[in-house]
Chains A and B, each alone.
Chain A
Amino acid sequence: MPVLWIVVIVVVLAVVGFVMGRMRALHSAGEDRRSLHSLPNYYGFNVAMFTAVPALLLLLVWMVAQPLIVNTRVSAEIPEALLDGSNMSLVMSDVRRVADGLDTAIAQGALSARQAANIDLQTTDLREVLGSVGVALGSSVDPATLNAAQTYRGMTSTGDLAMTVLVLLAAIAGFAFAYLRTNKDFRARNTVEKGVRVLLIAAASIAILTTIGIVLSLVFNTIEFFRLYPITDFFFGTTWSPSFGGGSELGILPLLWGTLYISLVALLVAVPIGLFAAVYLSEYATKSVRGVVKPLLEVLAGIPTIVYGLFALLTVGPFLLSIFGANGPTAAMADGGWMHAGTAVMTAGLVMGIMLIPFVSSLSDDIINAVPQSLRDGSYGLGATKSETIKQVILPAALPGIVGAVLLATSRAIGETMIVVLGAGAAARLSMNPFDAMTTVTAKIVSQLTGDADFASPEALVAFALGMTLFVLTLGLNIFALYIVRKYREQYE
């Protein structure tokens, strides 16, 4: 039975439960709602809750667990011979594809259930049969694969049946339990509120689950990577040249260098502009100017990064190339120009800087506004001009907060992906020339994990180690920055 139907049945049961629970409660009170402990609806909700929540939870757990169990069992049955020159996850995905294909074929009527269960590869060209129902296979089906696929189908269908039965049983049991408990003295409101509270806590815990998910998915794959590739070569290697044929050199240093160089350029653009804009907006601008300019600047922050990426690739890159390239006015100063292609550290850094301007200005604006007015009054009272007050009193007072803001902006710059993927180039190199193409940690995560990479190879797994590095780096910066900003706020509260 499709999952959707199970859900529908459970929901219908819950609705029925609501109505019946409510009626039973009223009935037990002799149709006098005043003698009930709780409002009648709570009795209904109580039954509905006990019907739906455990059943749906069971369904969810089952749906996650079943493929895992089936996978482990089926992969245990796959003969060694099939693994020759390949790995388990690829074989398993073939198996699943064949199994799914057989199910599709049955659903579309190309095969009967009996035919599908007794396919003889000698007489049937399975690849063609499956191709006719829209399931394309890379090669013709190996008997062992078909065997495994049949086991897979068997276990899955048994599992599905068991799931349907158990989930519906759970729903009915919950229904019966709650319904039978319903009488006029039952504290329905308290039970329902307890249930709702548990749901609220569960929702709040998703934040923790997400973090755990991130950490686990990074850690396991990173460990797997370090099993295949020496950890010292990764952290101290100065060459990045992955090749899926083997013999890759996967040193992170050129990537880190590119990341930091681009971030530096971005900050050199964003911090002065953002800071001066914030100072002007908070100290000089009239209310009406502020009301117009601040949202306009923040538009820059609302523009998706893909737009900036395209802007870098198609507008800024060619523009810089026309100035610093071989045909530009500066070509004479350097042999053949400094810049050889539109994608470069400068291109990505400049555009990323534009993106970060509102980020720096909004944060700094908040922080400058948190400096108490009394300090300004004190300075003006002594005859200081506005700029003297800003430079000598406000900015020093706001310094910790501004440092925090800059750190947050740095973390943003380090984690930014689309701009560098499109604007920075693909070559990993350790160079000082800001007009050279370089690449970053994020860009390489994308290039190593897209395409038909084999997830068991070090060339793909390295992306998780890169992700881990990125995660640790940005997390450290964020925690440190938030700590500084919080300390700063406490100072003036």
Chain B
Amino acid sequence: MSDATQHGAGQPATRSLHHLDARTKRRNASEKRFKALGIGAIGIGLAFLVILLVTIVSNGATAFQQTFVEVPVYLDAAKLDKKGNRDPEDLKKATTFTYKPLIEKALLDAVEKSGATTDLAKAKDMKNLISASAASQVRDAVLADPSLIGTTVDFKILASSRVDSYLKGRVHRDEIAKDKNITVAQLDLVDQLRDAGIIHKGFNWAFIFGADASDSRAEQAGIGISMLGSFYMMLVVLVLALPIGVAASIYLEEFAPKNRFTDLIEVNISNLAAVPSIVFGILGLAVFIQFAHLPQSAPLVGGLVLTLMTLPTIIISTRAALKAVPPSIRDAALGVGASKMQSVFHHVLPLAMPGILTGTIIGLAQALGETAPLLLIGMVGYIATNSPDGFLDGFVSPNSAMPAQIYEWAKRADPAFYERAWGGIIILLIFLLGMNIIAIILRRKFERRW
């Protein structure tokens, strides 16, 4: 401060540069604090990312493991084929209710044989240990091969979701007092059966390739069918958005005159890019379903909505790619007598292609993860259990989509579905990661410096 008074005297204070004054020290401290704030902000951002990823992986990894029960089932001819003629039509009359006691009995026998000590002595007591899907699994096997009747066949059936959750550490003995679906005695038995190798965990292929299941069968639910739904939607988006987006960009970047109409299109595109996705859902509902009567829950409609939603993204990145091609290329083509159209399609477009594809893949990745518009066109709440019959049917037959399926599981009451939801997210993120890696590789490989 002292030098202030000397200001204007033409003889500024001569302080040594090698000595930091108090004010500079204060200023440097404030500099350090400010820098620390910046590092802190980045640290928090990255910490959130890490927490998010750790949460996803730690909660979802178990979805890829499933508990199975290995049990030899005696397929009693007296019950399954009362007429004794092995006629498939008659065999169909035996419903899953007929098969269920057989399996429960078989498990009880296996328990006794393993020498486990338990008070559970009735076949009924085994009900809670095995999935409700077991009966139909055995029935399907019998219908496929009636000669099995009367023999004992080894089956690998799903354990119930309570047993599965118990072995994965999510169900504890002290929390199940009110649970009708499992008892402490049954859990004790599960421990012994696991040691005996009758109950064991295995990789859960059914989760990746299987169909969704109803509310009470969490252990059976898979994401495979909705993955197919997502695949069909992406196909629609790719087939429509890429050509339309490229055509629109070529027009705007290369041919459009500077006039009101062009301005209008430009304003529209930049605004559409920022319209909330749910509004596109309303558009899809009103135009495609109410007005054009396209089928509800169909991947075709989902694909159309997502196409409209991703078009602005694709147009913006395509235009950037076209802009990056230097004018000298166009001039060179025009200079040898090519028409404007030829110069664009023969020279500019091929050079811009890597950039366009990168933008398209990123647009597709965005569309793949989008959920909100799908809620409104009925792709949620639909239980995706059937694969489409044939390729074309896949576009119009009702289906779900991966993010919609995840949402569906998140809403269900049984917490066993949460694991599926996290697992579904892992699969979804793997797809997104793959798409982004392809985009990065494309960009690296074809990156051009003019």
In chain B, positions 279-305 with a C-beta closer than 8 Å to chain A are: 279-280, 282-283, 285-287, 290-293
Interface size class on chain B is 35 or more
B45 touches A302 (CB 8 A): no
A68 to B376 alpha-carbon distance, docked (Å): 22
A467 touches B38 (CB 8 A): no
Question: Looking at the complex, which one of B251, B287, B403 makes contact with A203 (CB distance below 8 Å)?
Answer: B251
In chain B, what residue has the closest Cβ to A39?
A: B342
B311 touches A273 (CB 8 A): no
A299 touches B279 (CB 8 A): no
A137 to B434 alpha-carbon distance, docked (Å): 44
With known contacts A300-B48, A415-B276, A273–B41 Cβ distance under 8 A = yes
A67 touches B380 (CB 8 A): no
Binding site secondary structure of chain A: helix
With known contacts A217-B287, A299-B49, A276–B271 Cβ distance under 8 A = no
B251 touches A213 (CB 8 A): no
Distance from B389 Cβ to chain A, minimum over Cβ atoms (Å): 11
A100 to B25 alpha-carbon distance, docked (Å): 84
B248 touches A203 (CB 8 A): yes
Decide if A416 is an interface residue (CB 8 Å cutoff): yes
A452 to B113 alpha-carbon distance, docked (Å): 52
Residues of A contacting B276 in the complex (Cβ-Cβ under 8 angstroms): 411, 414-417, 442, 470-471, 474
Stretch at the interface among B78-86, B94-102, B261-269: B261-269
Which A positions have Cβ atoms within 8 angstroms of B?
4, 64, 67-68, 71, 89, 96, 189, 193, 196-197, 199-208, 210-211, 213-214, 217-218, 220-221, 272-277, 279-281, 283-284, 293, 296-297, 299-300, 302-307, 309-311, 313-315, 354, 357-358, 361, 385-388, 390-391, 408, 411-412, 414-418, 421-422, 442, 445-446, 449-451, 455, 463-464, 467, 470-471, 474-475, 478-479, 482
Decide if B369 is an interface residue (CB 8 Å cutoff): yes
**The 9 A-B residue pairs with the shortest CB-CB distance in the complex, in nearest-first order:** A415-B276, A304-B369, A280-B38, A217-B286, A276-B41, A203-B247, A387-B34, A200-B251, A417-B372
Decide if B18 is an interface residue (CB 8 Å cutoff): no
A303 touches B42 (CB 8 A): no
A455 touches B290 (CB 8 A): yes
Q: Supply 30 A–B pairs (Cβ within 8 Å), ascending by A.
A: A193-B339, A196-B341, A200-B248, A203-B244, A203-B247, A204-B248, A204-B251, A207-B269, A207-B312, A217-B282, A218-B279, A277-B42, A293-B46, A302-B432, A304-B428, A304-B432, A305-B369, A315-B59, A358-B45, A385-B31, A387-B34, A418-B371, A421-B407, A445-B278, A449-B376, A450-B376, A450-B378, A463-B282, A467-B282, A474-B274
Distance from B405 Cβ to chain A, minimum over Cβ atoms (Å): 10
A452 to B298 alpha-carbon distance, docked (Å): 17
B376 touches A446 (CB 8 A): yes
Decide if B430 is an interface residue (CB 8 Å cutoff): no
Stretch at the interface among B3-11, B193-201, B320-328, B418-426: B418-426
Distance from B235 Cβ to chain A, minimum over Cβ atoms (Å): 16
Inter-chain pairs besides A296-B46, A358-B45, 11 sampled, C-beta below 8 Å: A210-B268, A277-B41, A281-B42, A299-B49, A309-B371, A314-B421, A387-B34, A391-B34, A417-B371, A446-B278, A455-B290
Distance from A88 Cβ to chain B, minimum over Cβ atoms (Å): 12
B293 touches A207 (CB 8 A): no
Distance from A286 Cβ to chain B, minimum over Cβ atoms (Å): 13
Question: Looking at the complex, which one of B27, B40, B49, B407 makes contact with A306 (CB distance below 8 Å)?
Answer: B407
A235 to B252 alpha-carbon distance, docked (Å): 40
B48 touches A475 (CB 8 A): no
A471 touches B279 (CB 8 A): yes
Distance from A317 Cβ to chain B, minimum over Cβ atoms (Å): 12
B35 touches A197 (CB 8 A): no
Contact with A along B13-55 (1 / 0, CB 8 A): 0000000000000011011011101111110111011001001
A411 touches B279 (CB 8 A): no
Decide if B353 is an interface residue (CB 8 Å cutoff): no
A64 to B247 alpha-carbon distance, docked (Å): 24
Residues of B contacting A276 in the complex (Cβ-Cβ under 8 angstroms): 37-38, 40-42
In chain A, what residue has the closest Cβ to B392?
A: A4
In chain B, what residue has the closest Cβ to A189?
A: B339
A283 to B311 alpha-carbon distance, docked (Å): 35
Residues of B contacting A89 in the complex (Cβ-Cβ under 8 angstroms): 290
Decide if B375 is an interface residue (CB 8 Å cutoff): yes
With known contacts A193-B341, A200-B251, A306-B369, A408–B274 Cβ distance under 8 A = yes
Distance from A348 Cβ to chain B, minimum over Cβ atoms (Å): 14
A117 to B293 alpha-carbon distance, docked (Å): 24
Residues of A contacting B421 in the complex (Cβ-Cβ under 8 angstroms): 310, 314
A197 touches B255 (CB 8 A): yes
In chain B, positions 239-275 with a C-beta closer than 8 Å to chain A are: 243-245, 247-248, 250-252, 255-256, 264-265, 268-272, 274-275
Binding site secondary structure of chain B: helix
A310 to B410 alpha-carbon distance, docked (Å): 7
B370 touches A304 (CB 8 A): yes
A96 touches B279 (CB 8 A): no
A207 touches B372 (CB 8 A): no
B272 touches A300 (CB 8 A): no
Distance from A370 Cβ to chain B, minimum over Cβ atoms (Å): 17
Distance from B126 Cβ to chain A, minimum over Cβ atoms (Å): 32
Residues of B contacting A205 in the complex (Cβ-Cβ under 8 angstroms): 265
Distance from A153 Cβ to chain B, minimum over Cβ atoms (Å): 15
With known contacts A204-B247, A280-B41, A307-B52, A214–B265 Cβ distance under 8 A = no
Question: Looking at the complex, which one of B45, B250, B277 makes contact with A357 (CB distance below 8 Å)?
Answer: B45
Residues of B contacting A467 in the complex (Cβ-Cβ under 8 angstroms): 278-279, 282
In chain A, what residue has the closest Cβ to B432?
A: A302
Distance from B371 Cβ to chain A, minimum over Cβ atoms (Å): 4
A279 to B40 alpha-carbon distance, docked (Å): 12
Distance from B145 Cβ to chain A, minimum over Cβ atoms (Å): 27
Distance from B355 Cβ to chain A, minimum over Cβ atoms (Å): 18
With known contacts A217-B286, A221-B286, A310–B422 Cβ distance under 8 A = yes
B275 touches A314 (CB 8 A): no
In chain A, what residue has the closest Cβ to B372?
A: A417
Question: Looking at the complex, which one of A203, A217, A415 makes contact with B283 (CB distance below 8 Å)?
Answer: A217
Question: Looking at the complex, which one of B55, B290, B407, B428 makes contact with A311 (CB distance below 8 Å)?
Answer: B55
B59 touches A314 (CB 8 A): yes
In chain B, what residue has the closest Cβ to A471?
A: B279
Distance from B239 Cβ to chain A, minimum over Cβ atoms (Å): 13
Distance from A478 Cβ to chain B, minimum over Cβ atoms (Å): 4
A284 touches B38 (CB 8 A): yes
A307 touches B250 (CB 8 A): no
A199 to B274 alpha-carbon distance, docked (Å): 26
A220 to B339 alpha-carbon distance, docked (Å): 46
With known contacts A304-B432, A475-B275, A387–B371 Cβ distance under 8 A = no
A280 touches B27 (CB 8 A): no
Residues of A contacting B369 in the complex (Cβ-Cβ under 8 angstroms): 303-307
B279 touches A415 (CB 8 A): yes
Residues of A contacting B278 in the complex (Cβ-Cβ under 8 angstroms): 415, 417, 442, 445-446, 467, 470
Distance from B315 Cβ to chain A, minimum over Cβ atoms (Å): 7
Residues of B contacting A478 in the complex (Cβ-Cβ under 8 angstroms): 271, 274
Interface centre among A197, A311, A313, A451 (most CB of B within 10 A): A311
A367 to B376 alpha-carbon distance, docked (Å): 37
A311 to B60 alpha-carbon distance, docked (Å): 12
Residues of B contacting A210 in the complex (Cβ-Cβ under 8 angstroms): 268, 272, 283, 308, 311
In chain A, what residue has the closest Cβ to B415?
A: A314
Question: Looking at the complex, which one of B30, B39, B45, B406 makes contact with A387 (CB distance below 8 Å)?
Answer: B30
With known contacts A201-B251, A206-B311, A450–B41 Cβ distance under 8 A = no
A451 to B269 alpha-carbon distance, docked (Å): 32
With known contacts A211-B271, A467-B278, A310–B406 Cβ distance under 8 A = yes
